[in-house]
């Protein structure tokens, strides 16, 4: 296991904002100010580079836009400047959609991703499958060097406990056998779902709700937003959070309290 030079406690947050400009009008800046995370990762920013206007004070800010306008995109705000920043994973099929940002620090590597949706009828499942193989190889290579924190909208509810209505949704995008198995394979490669590590039997804990049928009002949701770490670093996981009272998107933020080290 990686031996830190010194320990600290970090608050890390991930949020699919479903359009950052829209979320800014619904309390995003206030949430950032109140929570003051050490690192905040965003997915589905839906911004082009020339549309980026939000640069929060006290943070190093990195955006990665999709080539297609109004689509996908990621961002990371961090209080400590990383040694290096990598936009994408080196595969043009996925990098053209602005899906991944990696920050490297001496003590750990932070990766956020907006995982492709398999879409209705699983019409994009083959693309999703190619992504899963590529990101697993990418993460495992990073994890061979130092602790890795992987977060984002991973677009899968892993177990039946992770969504309100598993029966009717079996086989749908985000709860297909194929996607669930690929997530299991990622965990089997040495990663840990931090929320289920801390709260293995907690029901009703969701991070996404459809805008239809008053789903959030009835808490008819899915847990598809995650923080993963190496199993060997489980002792550094102090807590895993779901900010289910925070609005502004069809997702709510999720968090990790990490007793790791920057150095």
Verify whether residue 211 is a known catalytic residue: no
State the sign of the Cα–Cα–Cα–Cα dihedral 225, 247, 78, 48.
positive
Antiparallel, parallel or unpaired: β 39-43 and 10-16: parallel
Q: Is 206 a catalytic residue?
A: no
Query: Which one is catalytic: 38, 59, 150, 153?
Result: 153
140 three-class SS: helix
Q: How far apart are CA 11 and CA 256, in angstroms?
A: 6
Beta bridge partners of 208: 222, 251
Neighbours of 106 (CB within 10 A): 12
Q: How many CA atoms lie within 13 A of 201 on its CB side?
A: 0
**What is the per-residue DSSP string for 30-91?**
HHHHHH--SEEEEE-----GGG-----TT-EEEEE--SSTTS--EEEEESS--SEEEES-S-
CA angle 82, 88, 89 (to 5 degrees): 100
d(CA 93, CA 127): 9
Q: What is the C-alpha separation between 54 and 12, in angstroms, rounded?
A: 19
β-strands 148-153, 225-230 pairing: antiparallel
- Catalytic one of 114, 138, 150, 226: 114
Contact present, 64 and 76 (Cβ < 8 Å): no
Give, for 104, the enclosing helix (H) or strand (E): strand 100-104
- Active-site positions? 114, 153
């Amino acid at each position: 296991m990686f031996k830190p030079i010194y320990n600290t406690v970090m608050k890390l947050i991930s949020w699919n904002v479903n359009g950052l400009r829209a979320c800014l009008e619904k309390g995003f800046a206030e949430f950032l100010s109140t929570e003051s995370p050490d690192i905040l990762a965003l997915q589905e920013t839906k911004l082009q580079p020339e549309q980026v206007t939000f640069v929060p004070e006290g943070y190093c800010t990195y955006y990665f836009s999709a080539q297609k306008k109004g689509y996908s995109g990621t961002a990371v705000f961090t209080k400590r400047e990383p040694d290096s920043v990598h936009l994408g994973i080196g595969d043009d099929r996925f990098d053209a959609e602005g899906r991944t940002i990696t920050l490297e620090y001496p003590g750990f590597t932070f990766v956020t991703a907006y995982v492709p949706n398999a879409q209705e009828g699983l019409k994009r499942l083959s693309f999703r499958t190619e992504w899963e193989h590529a990101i697993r190889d990418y993460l495992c290579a990073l994890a061979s060097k130092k602790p890795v924190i992987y977060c984002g909208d991973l677009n899968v509810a892993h177990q039946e406990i992770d969504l309100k209505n598993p029966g009717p949704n079996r086989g749908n995008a985000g709860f297909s056998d194929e996607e669930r198995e690929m997530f299991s394979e990622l965990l089997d490669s040495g990663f840990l779902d931090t929320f289920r590590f801390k709260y293995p039997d907690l029901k009703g804990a969701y991070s996404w709700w459809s805008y239809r049928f008053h789903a959030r009002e009835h808490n008819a949701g899915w847990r598809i937003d995650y923080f993963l770490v190496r199993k060997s670093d489980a002792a550094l996981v102090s807590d895993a959070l779901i900010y289910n009272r925070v609005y502004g998107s069809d997702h709510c933020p999720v968090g990790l309290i990490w007793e790791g080290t920057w150095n």
